[in-house]
């Protein structure tokens, strides 16, 4: 029995880490497309969401059949799903890739990881309670890490562009909305179906806003291959691995294992994009990523 449990935990850990690594690779591929191939986030994100949403829905249909349409049988669920897709999913993805375009995959991913601290502050305020000591420490580390990334410890001067900082913080706020808003839907219908519909809805909204079909895109074979990696491996397979992994190891351990994502994004940015990170950058990264461990050290 113990061997079976250990095997399940081992399999879950590998799957969860694999999902985080694939997300990090996706960010680096996005950086390549935005900075080397000259694609714009207002083309890349709608196309990614539409394609990934359709693929995920097809995958869900193979497993659940017509049950994937269940959220549309309830007016309140339909409304919340539309809000999730149009506000949570679309803004989370658009702000993240825009931040990558102005900085790099590592920095943008780490800034997005301020999101869990914003969630903690929101939950505490809503409950009318003062955050616990480890939560306050997490908030302080998030602010310190952001300060180091933005200024390298020199107040009054930015080490990254103001656009990168703005979109990175917007990405963290969008992640907080993306994580908290669909809670009821996730419990009722499952993560995969809700994420699939959210991607498709978000992709349709951004397509109507940015009209990617009207843009001239330098989509050569290399760019097309990287788009394929982002859509298939960085979205569909990564999400499936993460959900299956969390199902084995639980949400708390899953959150810790998934924090390999910013590490992965940073490593691949260095190896494949030649990005140079200084001591202050890495120290800022450590401060922000450590908040995940602090926030998961308390109650479930």
136-180 confidence digits (pLDDT tens): 999 999 999 999 999 988 887 788 999 999 999 999 999 998 888
CA nearest to 112, candidates 261, 283, 250, 280: 261
The answer to whether 95 touches 167, Cβ cutoff 8 Å, is yes
Separation in Å, CA 105 to CA 71, 109, 188, 261, 270: 34, 6, 33, 10, 10
Cβ-based neighbours of 11, under 8 Å, separated by 6 or more: 245, 248
Cα-trace Rg, the chain = 19
Instruction: Return the pLDDT at 157.
Output: 79
Cβ-based neighbours of 128, under 8 Å, separated by 6 or more: none
Any idea which residue has 């269940």 for tokens?
70
Instruction: Return the pLDDT at 112.
Output: 94
CA 100 – CA 296 distance, rounded (Å): 27
pTM higher than the cut 0.85: yes
The answer to whether 235 touches 45, Cβ cutoff 8 Å, is no
Instruction: Return the pLDDT at 5.
Output: 55
CA 241 – CA 59 distance, rounded (Å): 13
Extract the runs of DSSP E, i.e. beta strands, from the chain.
none
Q: Other C-beta atoms within 10 Å of 137: how many?
A: 16
Residue 17 backbone dihedrals phi, psi, to 5 degrees: -60, -40
Burial level of 138, CB count in 10 A (0-12/13-18/19+)?
buried
Any idea which residue has 């986030």 for tokens?
41
Any idea which residue has 């997490």 for tokens?
138
169-193 confidence digits (pLDDT tens): 999 999 998 888 888 998 899 888 9
Low-confidence ranges of the chain (pLDDT < 70): 1-7, 298-300
Residue 251 backbone dihedrals phi, psi, to 5 degrees: -65, -35
């Amino acid at each position: 029995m113990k061997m079976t449990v250990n095997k399940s935990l081992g399999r879950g850990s590998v799957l969860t880490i694999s999902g985080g690594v694939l997300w990090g690779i996706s960010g680096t591929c996005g950086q390549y497309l935005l900075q080397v191939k000259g694609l714009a986030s207002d083309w890349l994100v709608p196309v990614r969401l539409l394609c990934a949403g359709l693929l995920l829905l097809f995958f869900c249909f193979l497993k659940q059949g017509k049950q994937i349409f269940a959220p549309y049988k309830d007016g309140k669920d339909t409304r919340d799903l539309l809000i999730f897709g149009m506000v949570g999913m679309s803004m989370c993805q658009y702000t993240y890739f825009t931040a990558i375009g102005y900085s790099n995959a590592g920095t943008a991913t780490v800034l997005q990881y301020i999101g869990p601290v914003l969630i903690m502050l929101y939950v505490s305020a809503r409950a009318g309670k003062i955050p616990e000591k480890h939560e306050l420490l997490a908030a302080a580390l998030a602010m310190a890490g952001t300060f180091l990334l933005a200024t390298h410890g020199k107040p009054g001067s930015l080490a990254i562009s103001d656009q990168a900082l703005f979109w990175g913080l917007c990405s963290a706020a969008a992640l907080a909305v993306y994580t908290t808003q669909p809670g009821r839907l996730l419990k009722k219908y499952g993560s995969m179906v809700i994420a699939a519909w959210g991607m498709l809805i978000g992709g349709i909204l951004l397509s109507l806003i940015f009209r990617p079909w009207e843009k001239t895109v330098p989509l050569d074979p290399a760019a097309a291959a990287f788009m394929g990696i982002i859509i298939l491996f960085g979205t569909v397979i990564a999400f499936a691995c993460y959900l299956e992994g969390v199902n084995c190891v639980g949400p708390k351990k899953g959150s810790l294992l998934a924090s390999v994502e910013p590490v992965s994004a940073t490593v691949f940015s260095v190896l494949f994009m030649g990005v140079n990170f200084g001591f202050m950058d890495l120290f800022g990264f450590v401060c922000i990523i450590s908040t995940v461990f602090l926030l998961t050290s308390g109650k479930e």
